[in-house]
Structures are given as structure tokens and as C-alpha cells.
Amino acid sequence: MCELASTLPALDAEALESELAELIVAALNLDVPAAQIDPQARLYGEGLGLDSIDILEIALLVSKQYGVQLRADGAENTQVFASLRHLAAYVAAHRTK
Amino acid sequence: MSLLPPSHTPEVIRHLKSFAPDVFCLTDMPCDLDVPQMRYPHLPRIERPWRVPAIDAGRTVAFVFTSGSTGVPVPHAKTWGRLIECVLEGARRLEVGAATALLATVPAQHMYGFESSVLLPWASGSALCAERPFYPADVCQALQSLPRPRVLITTPIHLRALMAYPDTLPAADLIVSATSPLSQALAQQAEIRFQGPVREIYGSTETGQLATRASAREPAWRLWPGIALTLEAGRVWARGGHLEQPTALGDQIEPLDAEHFLLHGRLADLVNIAGKRSSLAYLTHQLLGIPGVRDGAYFVPGGERAAEPGPARVAAAAVAPGLSAADIRAALRGRIDPVFLPRPLLLLDRLPRNSTGKLPQEALRALLGPPPRPTP
């Protein structure tokens, strides 16, 4: 039981990461397969090469899909776009749908 | 003298330093531009009545750069008098006065932001909110905190994101949009959600603001007084008014009468992504300048777009044996503004040139196959 309880959240997190990757690739029309996005690579600038227009687009996407409103204030928020993993963790913690 | 570069890529910064060897960056936050930095101090509170300095109207106060068609950014000198003349007309039209509070989502270092968030407060005595919010939730909070009348200075991209905000939006007494044309549907929706009128500004780096329209109601733009449009050799030129010299416009424009015109999009070779303008010829020139790229071209993917699409991007195809897409992207990043990084970038054995060696845009678009599925 303990083992199950500890692996389930990890599986959920991984599923959310790949779901987000799929959504981002489709919404931004990226020519990178979603599965090839390194969950730990930077989303902004170098790394995946997203810019501020994309970030606003992703903000729109997580608002529609998960009911999460991103904000610039708060220490945790500065890290949201550090990587796909950070974004997924933030969405998991704040999703309302 | 202020310099407003089109982007901050290393190539543009190098050019800026050769244009003005004594250039420095005045900043209030850490900044990684490769020029001497001067940190703007926090000013002590000014107790005495402040005398506004008188500036000679003929004095050149800024150079605003466009990205140019040959790879070299082109400076456009702006004199104080004409800049202020232009924004004073904007203040009259938008009814922005000393009691107005402004909130801008656009940065001050391009022409629209410079005019609307720097010059407009100076010329009208209105107050600019120190925050420049980005996310819809932050825009709402900042707007809500301002006294009325309050004005939101923004772009179609931000408005589109704000329309998806699930809660009630704070009332705005005016919403100003520029950088790329706003659809009538989005303008109408914004007027309902913000309970205030939407006014759109048409302008360019070369000309500054030229016209406004009430986008929710009318497709026609009304010119600034004294500005005349003329058709010469297939291009529409603007002259008179606050313009330093006659200027060819980069858009397909249909004059209706002496004061009004319709806008039918960019000229074929020009692209505008979130207010950053470039040309396919310039971008292709930069692509071909990368060592190892034997042939290549930029193109605009897709033809007709949905009513309210996300921001359009540009695509490119390249013949570059030995280089990966990542190599080319990294090289482009040093040469062009990142908004013009190709999406997608296709690597091919040869480009679909026709028998005369020409490269039709349609043939390039056909490489992409069917259009991407819409945003869920």
C-alpha cells in the first residue's frame, strides 16, 4: 500500500507533464514532438526557445484547461516557466479543474 | 538622446555601438546588454514645485530603429516638437487629460509604448502606473487599483488573453490597442467585458501614430489632421502633419476620402509579429548568411486564418547538409529578433524552386501539409 501511495503522485505528475507538453506543442505549433521535450529544460529563451508571446499563450491555455491563473508576484511564480516540470507542478498545486 | 533598437540581439547591439560609440544603458534593473550600464537611482521625494524644462522643438531627442531590409538597422531621427505634436493629437482624440490614470502592458522601448506610456503622460499630464503587468490576473489587479478615469494601453495579444479570464474584469474607461489590427469581434467583446470603449491606433516606427478607429463599430481609420495619403508607384505614402518626411507605408491601404482609409493587411513581403516588423527578404538574407546554409527561404505558413487565431509565426526551409535545426536556430538567435525564429524550420535536400529558379510562397506552404489543428 505504502508503495502504491508513493508511486501514484509521481505517475500523475508525469502524466500531467506529457499532457501539458502535448497542449503546448499544439497551441504554439512547435516543430518538436511533445515526447522529446526535456521536462527539466528551460522553456524560455534558450532551451525550448519560447518567448513572451508564447508564455502568454501558455497562460491562456492553463487558464482554459485547468482553471489556473498565473501571476507574476509570489516567489514560486518566478519559477513557473523554469521548466515543463516546474509548470506541471504549479498547475497540479493550483488547478481547479 | 535616446536610442530605441528594434531588438536586443547581439548583432543589433554591435550595430548600435558602431552607430553611437558612447551609447550606454540607463536601467533600474539588472540587464545583460553588452554596453556600459548606468543604474537609475531611486529619486528622493521632490518637495519643491517642479519646473518642467523647456525643450527646443527642433531638437532630435530619439533615434528609433527599424530592422531594415539589408541586415543593418535603420535609424529614424525624432524631434521633440513633432513627437509631442503627434501624441497631443492622440491625447485629444482619446480624451486623456491630467486626471487620467494609464496602465500599459507594453514596454516603452518600441514606438507604440514610447508614445503611449512615456510621451502621452508627459504631454497630457496623466499618470502612468509604475507596474507593467503581464498575466491577465495581474492586469486586472493593477487596473482595479487605479482611480478612474483609467485607461488600459495594450495589444491584441493581451486583449485576447484577457478575454479568456474567467472572472469579471475591472471597468476601464478606455482600452487602447495597437501593434497589429484588432478584429471587430475581439473589440466588441473587450468593450462589453471592460465596460468601456476600444480605440485602436494605427502607426509605425517611421511615422509614429497616424490614425485611430473605434474598432468595435467601424472598419475605417481616421487620419491625424494634416496627414495626407497618396498613391505612388503602387505604394501608399503619408506626408504632412507631424511627419519628418514623406514615408512609404508597409501596409495595403485603401484611401476612402481625404481623412479616412481601410487597412487590408501587410504588403506581401512584410511580416508583423506582435508589433515587431520585418520582411521575408530580410529574414531570408539572415538565414542565408549562416555558414553552412546553402539555400533557404522564409515564408508565411497557412493562408486564411481563423477569426481569432493565436499570434501568427513565420516558417523557413533550409538546405544545410551538416547542420541540425538546433544549429540553425542558435545561429539565427544571434542575428534576428527571437519572435522571427522559424516555426517550423524545415531541413530539405532542395527547395521547391520552379523552372525559372523562383520560389513561390505556395510551394513552400505546401511543404507543411495540412494546417495544424486548432487550439483546444
| Residues B198, B190 contacting (CB under 8 angstroms) | yes
Domains, chain B, with CATH or none: 80-267 (3.40.50.12780), 271-366 (3.30.300.30)
CA A8 to chain B, closest CA, distance in angstroms equals 27
Contacts with B137 from chain A: Cβ below 8 Å:
69-71
Contacts with B346 from chain A: Cβ below 8 Å:
31
State residue B314 phi and psi, 5-degree precision.
Answer: -110, 150
The pLDDT confidence band at residue B373, using thresholds 50, 70 and 90, is low
Nearest Cα residue in chain B from A33: B344
pLDDT tens digits, A20-30: 999 998 888 78
Range in B81-85, B234-238, B300-304 the model is least confident about: B300-304
CB contact under 8 A, B274 and A27: no
CB contact under 8 A, A26 and B161: no
CB contact under 8 A, B166 and A63: yes
* Residue among B145, B78, B138 nearest B114 (CA): B78
- A16-28: b (≥16 Cβ within 10 Å) or e: bbeebbebbbbbb
The amino acid occupying position B257 is D
Domains, chain A, with CATH or none: 2-94 (1.10.1200.10)
ipTM above 0.90, yes or no: no
Whole-model pTM? 0.83
Contacts with A73 from chain B: Cβ below 8 Å:
138
| Residues B162, B112 contacting (CB under 8 angstroms) | no
Task: Please list, in sequence order, all residues whose beta carbon lies within 8 angstroms of the beta carbon of residue B98, skipping any fewer than 6 positions away.
Answer: B124, B125, B126
Q: Least CB-CB distance to A63: which of B164, B343, B373?
A: B164
Which cell numbers in the block locate residue B248? 512609404
Range in B43-57, B200-214, B217-231, B282-296 the model is least confident about: B43-57
Which cell numbers in the block locate residue A57? 499563450
- In the numeric block, the cell 516606427 is attached to B205
Contacts with B343 from chain A: Cβ below 8 Å:
28-31
> Distance of alpha carbon B66 from its chain centroid, rounded?
10
Distance between CA atoms of residues B267 and A96, nearest Å: 44
> Distance of alpha carbon A79 from its chain centroid, rounded?
11
* Mean pLDDT in residue range B285-291: 90
Q: What is the pLDDT of residue B115?
A: 96
